[in-house]
A and B are shown apart, each in its own frame.
Chain A
Amino acid sequence: MEPAVTTRWIPDAVEQTREFDDFDAIVRLYWPRVFRFALASLRDRDAAESVAQDCFHKAYRARERFRGDSSLSTWLMQIAVNLVHDCHRNRRLCFWNRTRAAAPEFDLISKSLVQGGASPETALLAKERIAAVWAAVAKLSDRQRTVFLLRFVEELDLLEIAAVTGLREGTVKVHLFRALEAVRKRMGENQ
């Protein structure tokens, strides 16, 4: 009962071309993923936009060094992960992040669940579960959070996460296990 892997939104053809000629097209294609990962990690829109912008600037400057050892998506996510880690490491810069940390719009989420046919009670329970997961994620270590978001939001498999983070697959699994333990406990799933 692993989470179903939905269709990847990045077309394989584009993934394979690895063309840097039309870098603007690359930005348009990958910006949502990079921005989403940064937003979920930092919970601040301005910081997430800044990370996304920096990510593509770095990629553009280093585009000649990209050899295609990994996919373009993996390469961009490596840069994004490092930028997010830099941001977390720089406590002074991140102070405002933590104080201004935004929360996902849970009301919007429960409304969309009700519109999707769920009863208000079901939507309320779902909203509480989602809030519990976000609360648990906020308390994770940087590495655990990164691995958790890459697995359960970006739906990367363990090997892809290893490639993005530079960790060994076994280490990824350990971080993921600890993150899941924290989430499960927060949800009250202790039996």
Chain B
Amino acid sequence: MNEHLSPEEISLWFAGGRTAELERHAAGCAECGARLGRMDSALAEFRESARSWSEAQSETARRIVWNRPVSHMARRWVLVAASLVILASGPAYWRTRQQARAAEMAHADALLQQVDAEISRAVPQTMEPLVSLVTWGSGPSEESQEKELP
């Protein structure tokens, strides 16, 4: 083959279509060797550019947050475990609820008793010290007072 490689043969060369005949010509032809060399360099430079660009862009991707997807089985187990927790905590919940209700009732009773006491008081609590000064019980006995009556 004495003719130079056609432009299509240059592309074919890099597309995996190099034949023994093309190789023979390229080996003995400086011009075709240079053309193939330019294409080879361009492709190598392109590869390097793609790789360095990717590396620069993946700086954030290096901190990959790989979220492993939850499998169907794992999801099923999570559901089962959650159900068991609910079932197991049911009686305890009701017990706690009952205790809380009993405490509430006791508190309410205590309040009611306090209210009853407040209502049944003849004198407001704030005036009790004053009253105690003149209360019949605190002074001379009723009996002696009665005696002093004419």
Enumerate chain A interface residues (CB-CB to B < 8 A). 1-4, 23-24, 27-28, 31-32, 35-36, 39-40, 45, 48-49, 52-53, 56-57, 60-61, 104-106, 108-109, 112, 126, 129-130, 132-134, 137, 149, 152-153, 155, 158, 173, 176-177, 180-181, 183-184, 187, 189-191
A152 touches B43 (CB 8 A): yes
B52 touches A108 (CB 8 A): yes
Starting from the known contacts A36-B50, A39-B53, 6 additional A-B residue pairs (CB-CB under 8 Å) come to A2-B18, A27-B64, A104-B53, A129-B41, A180-B11, A181-B11
Cα–Cα, bound, A112→B36 (Å)? 24
A57 touches B69 (CB 8 A): yes
Cα–Cα, bound, A152→B71 (Å)? 37
Cα–Cα, bound, A144→B7 (Å)? 19
Kindly identify which residue among B10, B17, B43, B49 contacts A134, using a CB–CB cutoff of 8 Å.
B49
Enumerate chain B interface residues (CB-CB to A < 8 A). 7-8, 10-18, 26, 33, 35-58, 60-61, 64, 66-69, 71
A35 touches B66 (CB 8 A): no
Return B1 CB to nearest CB of chain A, in Å. Answer: 16
Q: With A3-B40, A189-B35 as given contacts, are A31 and B51 in contact (CB-CB < 8 Å)?
A: no
Q: With A1-B26, A173-B17 as given contacts, are A23 and B68 in contact (CB-CB < 8 Å)?
A: yes
Cα–Cα, bound, A31→B57 (Å)? 13
B47 touches A155 (CB 8 A): yes
A177 touches B43 (CB 8 A): no
Return A78 CB to nearest CB of chain B, in Å. Answer: 19
Return B30 CB to nearest CB of chain A, in Å. Answer: 13
Return A179 CB to nearest CB of chain B, in Å. Answer: 8
B11 touches A184 (CB 8 A): yes
